[in-house]
Structure 1
Amino acid sequence: MKKTLFKTFSLCAISVAAFLGASAHAADENIEVTPVQSVTPHELAAIYVLSEICPGMVKDKAKFNQGYNKLVAEYLPGQKNPVESLNQLSKQADFRHILAEAKTDAKKAGKKKNQVICDELTAYSN
């Protein structure tokens, strides 16, 4: 996985627009609507890793949880309980290798970069 957690978090800022936005192509009276972006397992793994590393790095855990819940809901909009769905995904055997890559990437990013991401996610709750 070549994306860093920072890149993944940056995507969350535009994810609402990506999920809500659509490309419309009008041909006579027919309109076709297609989604702009699909979520990859690598992005979900990177988001899940934030739930593991950030609580120990942020001062306001309640705000972090709000921001994290908001981010997960944006990436899994069709789920009734998106955080629980992501937690269940993290336990699946076929997802574990992707999750391991995300954890390695988080370690490579270092504490300073991870701190910035965690702080941004805490502020994302607003």
Structure 2
Amino acid sequence: MQARKQGNAQGIDVSHWNGVIDWSKVAASGISFAFIKATQNSVDKRFLENVKGAKTAGLLIGAYHYMDDSVSTVDQAKAAAQVFYKAIQVAGGAAIHYGLHGTALKCRQMLQVGHAGTSGSTAMDR
């Protein structure tokens, strides 16, 4: 892992395990983005709260699905991907932000993978 230095983007990974997060303090500490757990067999109980708080604080956000050992068949993986997809829609959908070096294309590809039923998918939004 890179050491923290000024100029590097700094981010965090959060879920319900982190409890209630003071997103204004997170942003004030120099964090610019958060990966927020959306689903793991069901929607994370703080997902929508965390999305709203992070967006209000001006952070970039990404959502992820945590695939665990209870998902062992293709049909279960498709169902898990559908839960993730629906959670993203409820949170406002996914926006593609254009950046350097084909960023938009990479985000679009990740969204397609997430909808197809694989784990570790990310949907970027701001």
Q: Same fold (TM over 0.5)?
A: no
Structure number with bigger Rg = 1
Question: Which structure is higher in helix share?
Answer: 1
Taking structure 2 as the reference length, the TM-score comes to 0.29
Larger relative contact order (Cα-Cα within 8 Å, sequence gap ≥ 6): 1
**If the length of structure 1 is used for normalisation, what is the TM-score?**
0.29
